[in-house]
Amino acid sequence: MGYYFRSKTRAQDLTGSLGANTLINAQLNIPSSSQVRLLTAPAPLTPQIGVYDSNGNVLVLSIASNLTADITQSGAGGLDTGSEANDTRYYIWLIYNPSTNTLSLLLSASATSPTLPSGYTYKGLVGWVYNDSDGNFSHCATIAEDLFQQLGDWIHYRDLFENTISDPGDGGTIDVSKSGICTVFFTGGVNETRTLPDPPEAGRAIMIVGHEGEVGSTCTITASNTIDADGNTQMTFDASGDAILLISVKWGSTLRWRVMGNTGVALS
């Protein structure tokens, strides 16, 4: 849910009814190695977010001031559960306690179901932050930054495939945290494998392109759920230029990939 931009729109024209997980007039930064901060835009812009509860009820909330989450802390303003893990992408949620009218940030390893502190019944996904191998926050982005970019006073579509997704190699898991294009290289005259996990949210797009390094080599990618109406879960590439386009959708309570285009990839 959210705004549909035909090609571009003015930032000051972003008003009206927001959908869940839609953030406007705010951005993220990293003030320290353990903290991520949501910075709010100054007047006349109004920072807002759409949050939702377990029944799907949506509230549009104004964000009056900057908010910070610290991974060394627990609960609201910190990590939802467990302890800090290195080399991990954490998702940044804005959570709301209607009884106290309190907004807070929450870090979670989950892109769909964070553990909410007591009293907090509404949540909205803001973005993500990467905790590197040394346990330091190194880069972050809002969900909107995954989809749009602002140039001056205008907001434009991002090219969904401007992001390059690294090939994880034989036996590896493809990173689906952002939309993009992944070229899988297979060689050695054997059948290599990859795993495609379920998407973190609906609306992502990934294009996978095959590159055969040696005649007789193939690569089979197995998805966690079915990717078409025929119940297929496997995609086999056996030549350079084989390509498949997948879009993430929510089917009932399950997020999964669905095939939108296919050239040369055998499905099974």
Count of other CB atoms within 10 angstroms of residue 96 = 22
Task: Name the pLDDT band for 60 (thresholds 50, 70, 90).
Answer: confident
Instruction: Determine the pLDDT at residue 160.
Output: 57
Higher pLDDT, 82 or 42: 82
Task: Name the pLDDT band for 255 (thresholds 50, 70, 90).
Answer: confident
- Say whether pTM exceeds 0.85: no
Helices marked H in 64-210 — which ranges?
143-147
Least confident of 73-82, 98-107, 186-195: 186-195
Instruction: Determine the pLDDT at residue 33.
Output: 92
Measured CA angle at 207 (ends 150, 211), to 5 deg: 130
Q: Quick one: tokens of 223?
A: 């998805």
Instruction: Determine the pLDDT at residue 122.
Output: 94
3-state secondary structure 153-194: CEEEECCCCCCEECCCCCCEECCCCCCEEEEEEECCCCEEEE
Instruction: Determine the pLDDT at residue 161.
Output: 60
Residue with tokens 């759409």: 50
Q: Are 24 and 12 within 8 A, CB to CB? A: no
Instruction: Determine the pLDDT at residue 99.
Output: 96
Query: Across the chain, what does the average pLDDT equal?
Result: 82
The identity of residue 109, as a single letter, is: A
Helices marked H in the chain — which ranges?
143-147
Query: Does residue 47 have a cis bond before it (omega within 30 degrees)?
Result: no
Q: Is the pLDDT of residue 51 over 50?
A: yes
Q: Are 101 and 128 within 8 A, CB to CB? A: no
What are the backbone dihedrals phi and psi of residue 166, each rounded to the nearest 5 degrees, phi first?
-65, 140
Higher pLDDT, 126 or 44: 126
Task: Name the pLDDT band for 2 (thresholds 50, 70, 90).
Answer: very low
Instruction: Determine the pLDDT at residue 249.
Output: 81
Distance between CA atoms of 129 and 29, rounded to whole angstroms? 9
Domain edges within the chain? 8-157, 164-267
Instruction: Determine the pLDDT at residue 22.
Output: 67
Q: What is the DSSP letter of 210?
A: E
Instruction: Determine the pLDDT at residue 9.
Output: 39
Q: What is the CATH number assigned to the segment(s) 164-267?
A: 2.60.120
Q: Is the pLDDT of residue 3 over 60?
A: no
- Name the percent of the chain lying above pLDDT 70: 84
Q: Which of 193, 244, 257 is nearest to 220 (CA)?
A: 193
Q: How do residues 110-163 score in pLDDT, each as one tens digit?
A: 988 899 999 999 998 888 888 888 899 988 777 654 444 444 444 444 455 667
Strand 234-237 versus strand 102-108 pairing type: unpaired
Q: How do residues 197-221 score in pLDDT, each as one tens digit?
A: 998 877 778 999 999 887 889 999 9
Higher pLDDT, 157 or 105: 105
Q: How do residues 10-28 score in pLDDT, each as one tens digit?
A: 434 444 445 555 677 778 8
Least confident of 55-59, 72-76, 233-237: 55-59
Higher pLDDT, 5 or 169: 169
